[in-house]
Chains A and B, each alone.
Chain A
Amino acid sequence: MRLRYRKQAAAAGVAVVALTLALGACSSSSSSSAPSGGSSGSSSPAGGSTANLSGTLNGSGSSFQLSFQQAAIQAFKSVQSGMTVNYGGGGSGKGRTDLAAGTVNFAGSDSPIPDKEKANFNGKTVLYFPVVIGPITLSYNLSGVSNLKLDPTVIADIFDGKITTWNDPAIKAINSGASLPSTAIKLAVRSDSSGTTANFSNFLVEGAGSAWTLGTSSTINWPKTAQAGNGNGGVAQIVKSTPGAIGYVDYADAKASSLTFASVKNQAGSYIAPSIDSATAACQNATVKPDLTFSCIWTPGAQSYPITYQSWDLVYQSQSSTNTAAMLKAYIGYLIGDGQKLLPTLNYAPLPSNIQQQAQAQLSKIGS
């Protein structure tokens, strides 16, 4: 009898010990905040591109930056082989939330921190490093029309449902050379919330003024007849497969799906096609605030493409460890320096030199 009880006791004891270990492991990993990097790193005070740093950096946020971050992380391995950088994507909102909670070292965000979120950062200073800019195209599917021109008021009327056919007088007036069919216009929009939607609607507010009634936000109540797709790729697919469709698609995704896009009238009155150069030109003429926030939407300049948007990497000015500060300086320095060369191959636009210089000067502010 003693033997039987001993076996039961041993089994129960093992189970209890296993459960305790599992709970202990869970609680210890949740109590650690942003990883503070490896202890074997040596950090040079000059922001060392030559020093060998080691450790891990974690970032999350804007999906607009995602392909750039992935390419940069790969290329950065040859610059600092001891460092591991992870970028999780997930949307600008998630990035800012993660940074406020301390679970990431840097956050990608397509817009500055909105006022209602500022309280989450507990008064700590956040530095904005612009890293990438890109145009939003108006891609369309209309056989026989390859050089469509659009101005902000017409775009606003198309996207809130006032203009319903391609041969509407308003479109014909600015496209005198083209033969526009009487096909119905089918709108392609985003089903998920997105910085692309926020910036496109922002352009309509700035450029079309009172003609645009639906406001600006990462989610818009488009007309009921609009077809919604998931992600830029989803909208691109709808445009590609629906004759008569028009939608707003990131330049990179529009090029990847070989879509035709329209030239848009800018503030100076010229019709400019979206391209890497016209995006950089737009940001060259943007008003940059002292904290390096700016908007490239509807900027002056004859060559500016008016629907250009930008994305920043946000980091805290004061870091918890010297190694993390050094790693951030190295990686962000790469993103705004040599990493910019990767952008044209990914169909994004590099920062104009005036903004790039200001960003590089701000690097030294990251301290511990």
Chain B
Amino acid sequence: MKADPASPAGSADTLSQQRPLGDRGFQLLALASGLLVLVILVLIAVTTSQQAASWFSTEGLKIFTNNWDPATNHFGALSFIYGTALTALIAVIIAVPVSVGIALLLTQVVPYRWSRPIVYVVDLLAVVPSVVWGLWGILVFAPWIQHIYASIASGVGGIPVLGALFGPPTSGPSFFTAGIILAFMITPIVTSLSREVIATVPQIDKEGAYALGATRWEMITGAVWPHSQGGVVGAVLLGLGRAMGETIAAALVIGSASNVITTHLFVPGYNMPAVIANQFGEASGVFRSALMGLGVLLFVFTIIINVLARGIVERSARRKRGA
């Protein structure tokens, strides 16, 4: 009956008999903490939905129209949903090749001694506060890049597809600038997650590829990528989720123009977190409820993306472990 000192305190026969007070107390504390997190999440969802209820009931399906005009009490948020998707997409398209490239570089190419300082520097990007990114973006980056936009636009003006994307008019604060700043902000996360996943590829597979005469690139595509693709996709989705929710940086550099749905990337626009941050101060009544509703929508989208990401990472990790 007495527990064997060498076996852990949670061994089966001890558990079934009188449980020591410390164990029970700890289990309760851990359970309470876990439940607390769940409760808080549910409470946030419920209370914000309550605040948003009057917007949903007043506008109904018109919340998906492109007409946001507080002066005339119209609150159709389509342009903000579009802006959120567009800026997040631009951020991911710019950040993912860079991040996966850095991850591959650090794990496959660079000797271990040099990889640690590079990892350190990349992680420093994550330390920069969002508001500092926004201030740098609006005061330094946007004025500098608007000349580049102007020259690109004058160059591609007439060409069919490129002109629609990169043609005039142009502006420093714009969808594209917001996308670039967001790309800077999500690079550290995607890099570090990809690096961890790629580093778990079994050495034996890589050596096998080399033994068969593969070049380094063929080894990467043939041995590394099949193992790590799930994890990297998961990392990309997590980066996407973060890019969708970044508020202050986007609010400062996106240009603050409502009701803009266009293929032109160099024009000022708006996205959901930015409009909430900018317009909440003086909002009241249905206007405030509409902004809360945008928050609920954003909450739902980012939860979906994060759950998807975790699912993909888990499934690929399980597959890797099983294999």
Which residues of the other chain, A, contact B25 by a CB distance below 8 angstroms? 8-9, 12-13, 15-16
Instruction: Give the distance in Å from the alpha carbon of A228 to the alpha carbon of B138 in the complex.
Output: 11
Q: Is the CB of B169 within 8 A of A219?
A: no
Instruction: Give the distance in Å from the alpha carbon of A219 to the alpha carbon of B258 in the complex.
Output: 10
What per-residue 1/0 map shows which CB atoms of A117-142 lie under 8 Å from chain B? 10000000000000000000000000
Q: Tell me whether B285 is interfacial, beta carbon within 8 Å.
A: yes
- Name the contact of A215 in the complex, choosing from B69, B255, B268, B283 (C-beta under 8 A): B69
**What number of A-B contacts does a CB cutoff of 8 Å give?**
116
Number of interface residues of B (CB under 8 A): 40
Q: Is the CB of A193 within 8 A of B20?
A: no
| Minimum Cβ distance to chain B for residue A175 (Å) | 28
The answer to whether A9 and B282 touch (CB under 8 A), given A1-B3, A221-B71, is no
Q: Tell me whether B2 is interfacial, beta carbon within 8 Å.
A: yes
| Minimum Cβ distance to chain A for residue B135 (Å) | 10
A window 222-276: CB within 8 A of B: 222, 224-228, 230, 241
Number of interface residues of A (CB under 8 A): 47
Q: Is the CB of B281 within 8 A of A91?
A: yes
Q: Tell me whether A195 is interfacial, beta carbon within 8 Å.
A: yes
Instruction: Give the distance in Å from the alpha carbon of A116 to the alpha carbon of B283 in the complex.
Output: 12
Q: Tell me whether A92 is interfacial, beta carbon within 8 Å.
A: yes
Q: Is the CB of B70 within 8 A of A217?
A: yes
| Minimum Cβ distance to chain B for residue A238 (Å) | 10
The answer to whether A93 and B288 touch (CB under 8 A), given A193-B279, A218-B282, is yes
Q: Tell me whether B72 is interfacial, beta carbon within 8 Å.
A: yes
Q: Is the CB of A116 within 8 A of B282?
A: no
Give the residue among A8, A220, A222 with the most B Cβ atoms within 10 A: A8
Q: Tell me whether B15 is interfacial, beta carbon within 8 Å.
A: no
Which residues of the other chain, A, contact B22 by a CB distance below 8 angstroms? 5, 7-12
| Minimum Cβ distance to chain A for residue B85 (Å) | 20
Which residues of the other chain, A, contact B21 by a CB distance below 8 angstroms? 5, 8-9, 12
- Name the contact of A221 in the complex, choosing from B20, B258, B281, B282 (C-beta under 8 A): B258
Q: Is the CB of B282 within 8 A of A93?
A: yes
Q: Tell me whether A194 is interfacial, beta carbon within 8 Å.
A: yes
Q: Is the CB of A224 within 8 A of B260?
A: yes
Q: Tell me whether A174 is interfacial, beta carbon within 8 Å.
A: no
Which residues of the other chain, B, contact A225 by a CB distance below 8 angstroms? 169
Which residues of the other chain, A, contact B175 by a CB distance below 8 angstroms? none
- Name the contact of B282 in the complex, choosing from A10, A15, A19, A194 (C-beta under 8 A): A194
| Minimum Cβ distance to chain B for residue A133 (Å) | 19
Which residues of the other chain, B, contact A1 by a CB distance below 8 angstroms? 2-3
| Minimum Cβ distance to chain A for residue B158 (Å) | 22
Q: Is the CB of A195 within 8 A of B282?
A: yes
- Name the contact of B284 in the complex, choosing from A15, A117, A214, A230 (C-beta under 8 A): A117
**B288 nearest CB neighbor, chain A only:** A93
The answer to whether A226 and B257 touch (CB under 8 A), given A93-B288, A193-B283, A219-B282, is yes
Q: Is the CB of B284 within 8 A of A215?
A: no
The answer to whether A193 and B71 touch (CB under 8 A), given A5-B22, A9-B22, A11-B22, is no
Instruction: Give the distance in Å from the alpha carbon of A10 to the alpha carbon of B258 in the complex.
Output: 59
Q: Tell me whether B278 is interfacial, beta carbon within 8 Å.
A: yes
Instruction: Give the distance in Å from the alpha carbon of A224 to the alpha carbon of B169 in the complex.
Output: 10
**A116 nearest CB neighbor, chain B only:** B285
- Name the contact of B23 in the complex, choosing from A8, A16, A63, A241 (C-beta under 8 A): A8
What is the interface of chain A, defined by CB distance below 8 A to chain B? 1, 4-5, 7-13, 15-16, 19, 63, 90-94, 96-97, 114, 116-117, 191-195, 198, 201, 214-222, 224-228, 230, 241
Given contacts A7-B22, A194-B281, A219-B70, 18 further A-B contacts (CB under 8 A): A8-B23, A9-B21, A11-B22, A12-B25, A12-B26, A92-B282, A93-B283, A93-B288, A194-B282, A218-B70, A218-B279, A219-B279, A219-B283, A220-B71, A221-B68, A221-B71, A221-B258, A227-B255
Q: Write 10 A-B pairs (CB below 8 A) sorted by A numbering.
A: A1-B3, A16-B29, A90-B281, A96-B284, A192-B279, A193-B70, A221-B69, A224-B260, A227-B171, A227-B268
